[in-house]
């Protein structure tokens, strides 16, 4: 009898064989993927759109009961199949799950194409804070921001950032990604902690915390804009539903305690979001810049902060340098995980070398990102579609695949790596009964709200 060919044997020509150096290496890399500009820029922007603590509460709830089981599912899918994001869904669910692999690819490429533009702005702002005085007032900051976010500067920043990301990923899992995240993540935490302490002593600190984080209005819990914001922020910030963590999990060994690692990743990500809010809001309140933050997706990070800091003289410049450096580190550790999705998929599907797969992906993403680099409106739409709708839809598909199509795989992988059966049962229950309906509602609200905002 001929040996049975399971679908991946037909599709895969170069199953990944690299491994992480240690469990800590994986956790820091996965936390690096989660912690990114979304924590620093998205959290402040979305938290300031009127939701207050209702937004924060919904966000935390979604993270724990909806995202965590899905994140674990994504890790299980990667480790148990040993295949890249394009192929793993077929291995677990059969040929009918092929579109999910393509969706992972499209989302990761789509997000990275504008994410690297944002990285470019961040790098440019860092250089500016290092070399010259910060803009003196809000008008100056806006004019400066328009200068860096359009035209040649933006394109150059996008290309350089993408090139840097390519260098890290081309160096490999251990020598590139793990080496970077092991240095960058601890550094990021130290810098953020220092900024947090500094911000706590600003005159507007208490007002900042209370206006944005502690304002309680129960009606906001059912407000579609708040729900959409909490959902988008939770999924984008954890970064599940796109295959990046899946790709990382293929390099895990069988004994790695996935559920504990997932909790560590989610905990670090949430901590950074809240800490970043506790830096941004006091600055914003101290200098009366609230409208700048809630009025534009990019306002918080690139306009309000430098303006506020400028009035503090040289000390403000030091803070700006630290802030943009930490933002750049957060961004590049996320960007490498996004690039790993197409790169590992090309290696697995076509048997290409890592270098070839990486640089071809970089070239394609560089071109795809040009419209976002040239027009902020395009960037915002890309974010709404890929970072919003696609990501959440990917999360839903993951919950259905591992909760309903292949629950035995979820259970076996987790129990086999030492998770207590009661915890596995609770996670599986949430994955089957809580995540899918909750994500489906979140998805419908997101699409409807988005359509309304585009129409009006
Ligand atoms: N979580 C990252 C952020 O908050 O900026 C963005 C991101 C990275 C999204 C990786 C998705 C992903 F797969």
What pLDDT is recorded for position 295? 60
- Counting ligand 1 atoms within 8 A of each CB, the residue from 30, 33, 45, 389 with the most, and so the one to mutate, is 33
What pLDDT is recorded for position 294? 62
Q: Which has the closest alpha carbon to 120: 112, 130, 110? A: 112
109 lines ligand 1 (CB under 6 A): no
44 lines ligand 1 (CB under 6 A): no
- Counting ligand 1 atoms within 8 A of each CB, the residue from 30, 34, 300 with the most, and so the one to mutate, is 34
Contact 386, 107 (CB under 8 A): yes
Rounded Cα distance between 80 and 75, Å, is 8
135 lines ligand 1 (CB under 6 A): no
- Is residue 393 one of the residues assigned to a domain? yes
428 lines ligand 1 (CB under 6 A): no
- Is residue 12 one of the residues assigned to a domain? no
3-class SS string, the chain: CCCCCCHHHHHCCCCCCCCCCCHHHHHHHHHHHHCCHHHHHHHHHHHCCCCHHHHHHHHHHHHHHHHHHHHHHHHHHHHHHCCCCCCHHHHHHCHHHHHHHHHHHHHHHHHHHHHHHHHHHHHHHHHHHHHCCCCCCHHHHHHHHHHHHCHHHHHHHHHHHHHHHHHHHHCCHHHHHHHHHHHHHHHHHHHHHHHHHHHHCCCCHHHHHHHHHCCCCHHHHHCHHHHHHHHHHHHHHHCCCCCHHHHHHCCCCCCCCHHHHHHHHHHHHHHHHHHHHHHHHHHHHHCCCHHHHHHCCCHHHHHHHHHHHHCCCHHHHHHHHHHHHHHHHHHHHHHHHHHHHHHHHHHHHHCCCHHHHHHHHHHHHHHHHHHHHHCHHHHHHHHHHHHHHHHHHHHHHHHHHHHHHCHHHHHHHHHHCCCCHHHHHHHHHHHHHHHHHHHHHHHHHHHHHHHHHHHC
- Counting ligand 1 atoms within 8 A of each CB, the residue from 237, 272, 273, 298 with the most, and so the one to mutate, is 237
- Going from the Cα of 95 to the center of ligand 1, the distance in angstroms, rounded, reads 28
Nearest CA to ligand 1 atom 12: 239
pTM across the whole model: 0.95
Q: Based on the structure, what is the number of domains in the chain? A: 1
244 lines ligand 1 (CB under 6 A): yes
Number of the ligand 1 atom closest to the C-alpha atom of 39: 4
- Going from the Cα of 428 to the center of ligand 1, the distance in angstroms, rounded, reads 24
What pLDDT is recorded for position 2? 41
Contact 337, 244 (CB under 8 A): yes
Contact 310, 125 (CB under 8 A): no
What pLDDT is recorded for position 364? 98
Burial class (CB in 10 A: 0-12, 13-18, 19+), 269: buried
Per-residue pLDDT of the chain (456 residues; tens, 9 = 90+): 344 445 566 678 888 889 999 999 999 999 999 999 998 878 877 887 777 889 989 999 999 999 999 999 999 999 999 999 999 999 999 999 999 999 999 999 999 999 999 999 999 999 989 998 888 788 888 888 888 888 899 999 999 999 999 999 999 999 999 999 999 999 999 999 999 999 999 888 888 888 777 788 888 888 888 888 888 899 999 999 999 999 999 999 999 999 999 999 999 999 999 999 888 888 877 877 766 666 665 656 788 788 888 878 888 899 999 999 999 999 999 999 999 999 999 999 999 999 999 999 999 999 999 999 999 889 989 988 998 889 999 999 999 999 999 999 999 999 999 999 999 999 999 999 999 999 999 888 878 877 887 886
- Going from the Cα of 139 to the center of ligand 1, the distance in angstroms, rounded, reads 31
Which residue's structure tokens are 């590049």?
Answer: 332
Nearest CA to ligand 1 atom 11: 239
In angstroms, the Cα distances linking 156 to 38, 118, 148, 153 are: 22, 12, 10, 5
- Is residue 252 one of the residues assigned to a domain? yes
CA contacts within 13 A on the Cβ side of 251: 26
- Going from the Cα of 185 to the center of ligand 1, the distance in angstroms, rounded, reads 15
294 lines ligand 1 (CB under 6 A): no
Domain hosting 53: range is 23-455
276 lines ligand 1 (CB under 6 A): no
What pLDDT is recorded for position 296? 60
End-to-end CA distance of the chain: 63
What pLDDT is recorded for position 283? 82
> In this structure, what token pair is assigned to residue 98?
């092929």
- Is residue 332 one of the residues assigned to a domain? yes
38 lines ligand 1 (CB under 6 A): yes
- Counting ligand 1 atoms within 8 A of each CB, the residue from 38, 115, 188, 277 with the most, and so the one to mutate, is 38
Number of the ligand 1 atom closest to the C-alpha atom of 241: 13
What pLDDT is recorded for position 292? 64
Q: Which has the closest alpha carbon to 344: 177, 169, 180? A: 169
Number of the ligand 1 atom closest to the C-alpha atom of 240: 13
334 lines ligand 1 (CB under 6 A): yes
- Going from the Cα of 57 to the center of ligand 1, the distance in angstroms, rounded, reads 21
Alpha carbon of residue 265 to chain centroid? 12
Rounded Cα distance between 192 and 274, Å, is 11
- Going from the Cα of 27 to the center of ligand 1, the distance in angstroms, rounded, reads 15
Q: Which has the closest alpha carbon to 238: 431, 394, 18, 415? A: 394
332 lines ligand 1 (CB under 6 A): no
- Is residue 9 one of the residues assigned to a domain? no
Number of the ligand 1 atom closest to the C-alpha atom of 341: 13
Rounded Cα distance between 301 and 410, Å, is 39
- Is residue 351 one of the residues assigned to a domain? yes
232 lines ligand 1 (CB under 6 A): no
Rounded Cα distance between 335 and 164, Å, is 10
- Is residue 191 one of the residues assigned to a domain? yes
What pLDDT is recorded for position 391? 92
Give the CATH number, domain containing residue 83: 1.10.4160
Rounded Cα distance between 197 and 278, Å, is 9
- Is residue 172 one of the residues assigned to a domain? yes
């Amino acid at each position: 009898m001929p040996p049975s060919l399971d679908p991946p044997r037909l599709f895969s020509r170069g199953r990944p064989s690299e491994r992480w150096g240690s469990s800590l290496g994986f956790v820091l890399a996965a936390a690096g993927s989660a912690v990114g500009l979304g924590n620093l820029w998205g959290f402040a922007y979305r938290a300031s759109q009127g939701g207050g603590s209702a937004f924060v509460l919904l966000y935390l709830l979604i993270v724990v009961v909806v995202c965590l089981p899905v994140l674990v599912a994504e890790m299980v899918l990667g480790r148990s199949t040993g295949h890249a994001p394009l192929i793993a869904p077929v291995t677990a669910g059969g040929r009918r799950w092929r579109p999910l692999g393509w969706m992972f690819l499209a989302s990761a490429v789509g997000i990275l194409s504008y994410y690297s533009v944002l990285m470019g702005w961040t790098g440019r702002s860092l250089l500016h804070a290092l070399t010259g005085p910060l803009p003196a007032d809000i008008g100056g900051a806006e004019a400066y921001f328009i200068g860096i976010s359009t035209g040649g500067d933006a394109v150059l920043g996008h290309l350089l950032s993408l090139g840097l990301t390519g260098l890290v990923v081309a160096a490999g899992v251990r020598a590139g990604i793990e080496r970077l995240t092991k240095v960058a993540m601890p550094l990021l935490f130290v810098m953020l902690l220092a900024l947090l302490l500094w911000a706590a002593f600003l005159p507007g600190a208490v007002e900042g915390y209370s206006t944005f984080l502690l304002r309680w209005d129960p009606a906001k819990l059912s407000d579609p804009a708040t729900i959409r914001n909490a959902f988008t922020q939770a999924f984008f910030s954890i970064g599940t539903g796109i295959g990046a963590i899946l790709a990382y999990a293929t390099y895990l060994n069988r004994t790695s305690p996935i559920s504990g690692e997932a909790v560590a990743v989610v905990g670090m990500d949430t901590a950074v979001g809240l800490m970043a809010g506790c830096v941004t809001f006091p600055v914003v309140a101290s200098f009366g810049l609230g409208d700048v933050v809630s009025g534009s997706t990019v306002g918080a990070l690139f306009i309000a902060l430098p303006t506020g800091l400028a009035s503090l003289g040289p000390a403000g410049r030091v803070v700006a340098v630290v802030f943009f450096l930490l933002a750049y580190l957060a961004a590049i550790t996320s960007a490498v995980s996004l690039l790993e999705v197409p790169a590992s998929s090309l290696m697995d599907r076509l048997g290409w070398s890592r270098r070839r797969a990486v640089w071809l992906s970089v070239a394609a993403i560089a071109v795809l990102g040009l419209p976002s680099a040239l027009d902020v409106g395009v960037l915002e739409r890309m974010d709404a579609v890929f970072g919003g709708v696609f990501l959440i839809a990917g999360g839903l598909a993951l919950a259905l695949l591992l909760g309903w199509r292949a629950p035995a795989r979820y259970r076996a992988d987790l129990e086999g790596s030492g998770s207590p059966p009661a915890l596995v049962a609770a996670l599986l229950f949430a994955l089957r009964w809580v995540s899918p309906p909750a994500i489906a509602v979140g998805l419908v609200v997101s699409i409807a709200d988005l359509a309304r905002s585009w129409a009006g």
